[in-house]
Structure 1
Amino acid sequence: MLKEFKAFIARGNVLDLAVAVIIGAAFGRIVTSLTEDVLMPVIGKIFGGLDFSSYFLTLGPVPAALRGSTDYAALKKAGVPLLGYGEFITQAVNFLIVAFIIFLIVRSVNKLMPKPEVAAPVEPADVTLLREIRDELKGRPRV
């Protein structure tokens, strides 16, 4: 069983997948930072100081110490049931950014990759033979 496991791990596609997962996780952190630290503040500024992280609905009782608080993280940490639609908006923007960047990468790679040469379809031997017979009969004089 150990030999089978080594053979499985040593296959190229498994190693490629592992590298892709690690790079994807690091890329995800970069995109999260881009969204939370760069894009969302700009979007908030455009829409009049809007801070999406403070948009939520409380679905249960709020402790007395946190009454009137708009700190989503503190309320969540206190165990208050929240519907954090502002956080959802942030994550949706994250997703759109990642999807667009992946689209651009795939598009660029497809343009860089050489197009495979398409060979002319090989005609079956019987069709070739019939074509030769037809041409030969056309060349004969009619009786």
Structure 2
Amino acid sequence: MLNEFKAFIMRGNVLDLAVAVIIGAAFGKIVTSLTEDVLMPVIGRIFGGLDFSSYFLVLGDVPANLQGSSDYAALKKAGVPLLGYGEFITQAVNFVIVAFIIFLLLRVVSRILPKPDAPAAVEPADITLLREIRDEIRSGKTA
């Protein structure tokens, strides 16, 4: 079983996938930073607030020590039910950025890599035989 696992891990697909996951995680951090540190403050400023993640609705009772608090993280940690639409919007913007960059990357790669030639369609044997019979009948040869 250990040898089978070793063979599985050493296959090219698994190693390629591992590299892709590591690069993807690093890329995700870059996109998260771009979203949280560059884009969302600008969007928040346009819509009247500097911290977009602080947009939420309180859906339940707030403990006495947090009454009047606008700290989303503290309220969430205290177990207050919140509808954090600002955080959702931040994550949605994150997703759109990642999806757009992947789209651009695939577009560039598809233009750079040569397109494989389509394999010639192989005619079924019965069709080939029927064509040969037809051609012999047309030529007037008989066996």
TM-score (norm 1): 0.82
CA separation of 1:8 and 1:119: change in aligned 2, threshold 3 A: closer
CA deviations over 1:61-99 (Å, ceiling 9, x no partner): 212222111111121222222111110111111111111
Q: Which residue of 1 aligns with 2:129?
A: 126
Instruction: Name the amino acid aligned to 1:90.
Output: T
The aligned runs of 1:40-59 (5 Å cut-off) are: 40-49=40-49, 51-59=51-59
How big is the shift at 1:128? Answer: 4.7
What are the within-5 Å matches in structure 2 for residues 1-143 of structure 1? 1-49=1-49, 51-123=51-123, 125-126=128-129, 128-130=131-133, 132-133=135-136, 136=139
Q: What SS is found at the alignment partner of 1:68?
A: coil
Amino acid at match of 1:19: V
Name stretches of at least 5 consecutive residues in structure 1 with no aligned partner: 138-143
Q: How far 1:28 sits from its partner (Å)?
A: 1.1
Query: Which whole-Å CA distance do the structure 2 matches of 1:131 and 1:114 have between them?
Result: 40
SS in structure 1 of the partner of residue 65 of structure 2 = helix
| RMSD after superposition | 2.2
Amino-acid identity (%): 75
Runs of 4+, deviation exceeding 4 Å:
none
Task: Give the C-alpha shift of residue 50 in structure 1.
Answer: 5.9
Tell me the distance in 2 between the aligned counterparts of 1:38 and 1:3: 49
- Per the alignment, do residues 52 and 127 of structure 1 end up closer, same or farther by CA in structure 2, a change over 3 Å counting? farther
| Length, aligned pairs only | 138
Question: Under a length normalisation based on structure 2, what TM-score does the superposition of the two structures give?
Answer: 0.82
Q: Tell me by how many angstroms 1:102 deviates.
A: 0.9
Q: Which residue of structure 2 aligns with residue 140 of structure 1?
A: none
User: Structure 2: any 5+ residue segments left out of the alignment?
Assistant: none
Letter in 2 for 1:28: G
- C-alpha separation in 2, matches of 1:77 and 1:122: 65
**Per the alignment, do residues 10 and 88 of structure 1 end up closer, same or farther by CA in structure 2, a change over 3 Å counting?**
same
Describe the superposition over 1:18-56 as per-residue Cα deviations: whole angstroms up to 9, x where unpaired.
Answer: 111111111111111111111111112233446421111
